[in-house]
Amino acid sequence: MRASSCGFAWGFDGGGGAEGGLTALLGYVDEVVEFDEFVAIVRPRLARAFAAAYGIERGQEALAEAMGYAWEHFGVVEAMANPAGYLYRVGQSRSRPRRGSVAFPAPASLGLPEVEPKLGMALGGLSERQRVCVMLVHAFEWTHQEVADLLELSRSTVQNHVERGLEHLRDVIGASTDA
């Protein structure tokens, strides 16, 4: 190992030799690969849940907070029985709460097919739990059990939130249950 003119020692580990430094570097690379695999599985699910709960802007903010926490504490998070549920709570608590209702963009502005014009307003009128449950079950095709696992609720509680949320949406939009 040689020292630079400013006193910095060239090498991976600052004194253990190139072999020790290479081992540490390979361990770091393995950890990054594991984290990337973890993110590939968890991130899309959390993104949908946060968008359903908070709308796009705050949802992205909550997702960034959750993923940052996962990176900083990956050893602990990956060992959890329900890491996605825990990270959902982290995103909830760390994202900046805002007063007012949740705003969903018009579907046409996102290039989506036409939907009921009152749907965005009606979704914003649901409680957070109802909105998350309805969106994840009906828009993202999650099972009641998957939503229950994420939100750490019972499956029957999720079913109740979905049913009550749909009833509220039908009332606001004016749709009948026969449709």
CATH number at 124 reads: 1.10.10.10
| Tens digit of each residue's pLDDT (9 = 90 or more) over 50-71 | 998 888 888 999 999 999 999 9
Q: For 8-36, what is each residue's pLDDT tens digit?
A: 343 444 445 555 555 555 555 566 678 88
Report d(CA 140, CA 135) in Å as an integer. Answer: 7
Last residue of a domain, which of 39, 70, 98? 98
- Residue 3 domain-assigned? no
Same domain for 104 and 179: yes
Residue 40 belongs to what domain range? 17-98
Kindly report whether the global pTM for this prediction surpasses the value 0.85: no
Residue 30, domain member (yes or no): yes
115-128 tens-digit pLDDT: 777 788 888 889 98
CA 162/CA 171 separation, integer angstroms: 14
Residue 6 domain flag: no
